[in-house]
Amino acid sequence: MSKSARREQLLDVAAQLLIQHGAQAVTMERLAEWAGVSKALPYAHFDNSNAVLLALRDRETARVAGGMWEAGAAAEDAERVSAIVRSYFDEVEHSADLLGVLTGPGAIVADDRDKEERLGVRFVTALLTEHFGLDRQSARSVAPVLLGAFIGAAEGWGAGDADRETTELMAHATLTALLATVPLHR
Yes or no: say if 61 and 103 are a contact pair by the CB < 8 Å rule. Answer: yes
Q: What is the pLDDT of residue 155?
A: 87
Q: 84 and 18 in one domain?
A: no
Confidence class for position 23, pLDDT limits 50, 70, 90:
confident
**Domain total for the chain?**
2
User: pLDDT tens digits, residue range 126-172?
Assistant: 999 999 999 999 999 999 999 999 988 998 898 899 999 999 999 99
> Residue 20 sits in which domain range?
1-46
Q: 139 and 87 in one domain?
A: yes
Q: What is the pLDDT of residue 119?
A: 79
Among candidate residues 34, 39, 41, the one with its CA nearest the CA of residue 6:
41
Cβ-in-10-Å burial (0-12, 13-18, 19+) of 163 comes to: exposed
The CATH number of the domain holding residue 26 is: 1.10.10.60
Among candidate residues 108, 9, 21, 20, the one with its CA nearest the CA of residue 57:
108
Q: What is the pLDDT of residue 182?
A: 82
186 found inside a domain = no
54 found inside a domain = no
> Does the CA dihedral 109-114-117-118 come out positive or negative?
negative
109 found inside a domain = yes
User: pLDDT tens digits, residue range 78-109?
Assistant: 999 999 999 999 999 998 888 877 876 666 66
Sequence-distant (≥ 6) Cβ neighbours of residue 96 within 8 angstroms:
158
Q: 80 and 133 in one domain?
A: yes
Q: 89 and 30 in one domain?
A: no
User: pLDDT tens digits, residue range 3-13?
Assistant: 999 999 999 99
Yes or no: say if 121 and 139 are a contact pair by the CB < 8 Å rule. Answer: no
User: pLDDT tens digits, residue range 28-74?
Assistant: 999 999 999 999 999 999 999 999 998 998 899 899 999 999 999 99
Q: 30 and 77 in one domain?
A: no
